[in-house]
Amino acid sequence: MMSTLSPTASEIFDAKAFTAHAFSSPKNLAAVLDHTLLKPDATRTQVLQICHEAADHGFACAMVNPTWVQLAVEALKGTGVPVGVVIGFPLGATLSASKRDETARVLKYGAHDVDMVLNIGLLKSATTADYEAVKQDIRGVVELAHGAGAIVKVILETCLLTYEEKLRASELALSAGADFLKTSTGFSTGGATVDDIALLRSVAGNRAGVKASGGVRSLADATAMLGAGATRIGASASVKIVNELAGVDQSAAAAAAGY
């Protein structure tokens, strides 16, 4: 008899099939890439450039800092490519009220993907009350986003967590209604790893997506992450990754783009 703890067929995510579909064409691969520009010195010109690239390739979204949401939404109007934005970034230690306020404002401006940073210090404090506070911190953002037809990816910052904390953080995020579990901000001590993606997928099953972010710079990196169970990848090297699959010469592509 099968153990009641064993996942049913409907709960098991088929990473092999998902990966095969993603790599069946550059267009399909682009559809799982969040084209990202989150560096603090990003300029208006650079934001407009990633929006142009996102529209040209059909990326899953153009991910920007909150100050650029209005610009990105206007630039992508009519393209079908949504704007993603980070909340409580990169530390996750802002007030829950501040996260909700920030979320409400970017949603009003037209953001669709909301990537929020979990309160890492509260999680690691490890009391029942702290765990509940972490969940409510996430839930406050999720309720606003879902009310506006947007989605939420919760950044766990896995490089700062123990194995047990990654499991706890994943379950808290899912119970709060998160649409994706996301590994990293890219601003801490490490980024996405294959082991962490596999772990988050083992918890999420088919309940939510898993986003690999931080250090994904090549087609080989993307292949490894999708194979481990990721369904979304955040990368500033999205164009390079898609061009690798398409067999486009990188130096020629860079020259054409004016890099």
pLDDT for the residue numbered 252 = 52
Domain boundaries, the chain: 14-245
At residue 167's C-alpha, the angle toward residues 126 and 37, to 5°, is 100
Mean pLDDT of the chain: 94
Contact assessment for residue 158 and residue 124, using Cβ atoms and an 8 Å cutoff? no
Residue 4 reports pLDDT greater than 80: no
Range 16-29 average pLDDT: 97
Which pLDDT band, with edges at 50, 70 and 90, does 248 fall under?
confident
Please say if the pLDDT value at position 254 is more than 60.
no
Topology, domain 14-245: TIM Barrel (3.20.20)
How far apart, in whole angstroms, are the C-alpha atoms of residue 23 and residue 99? 36
pLDDT tens, 68-124? 999 999 999 999 999 999 999 999 999 999 999 999 999 999 999 999 999 999 999
Distance CA 166, CA 171 (A): 9
43-55 residue pLDDT tens: 999 999 999 999 9
Q: What's the pLDDT score for residue 7?
A: 54
What was the pLDDT predicted at 258? 38
Radius of gyration of the chain (CA): 18
Residues serving a catalytic function are: 115, 182, 211
The secondary structure of 156-214 as a DSSP string is --GGGS-HHHHHHHHHHHHHTT-SEEE---SSSS----HHHHHHHHHHHTTSSEEEEES
Q: Is residue 19 classed exposed, middle or buried when 0-12, 13-18 and 19+ CB atoms within 10 A define those classes? A: buried
Q: Which structure tokens are listed for 101?
A: 């306020």
Quick: pLDDT tens for 140-197: 999 999 999 999 999 999 999 999 999 999 999 999 999 999 999 999 999 999 999 9
Q: Give the pLDDT of residue 251.
A: 59
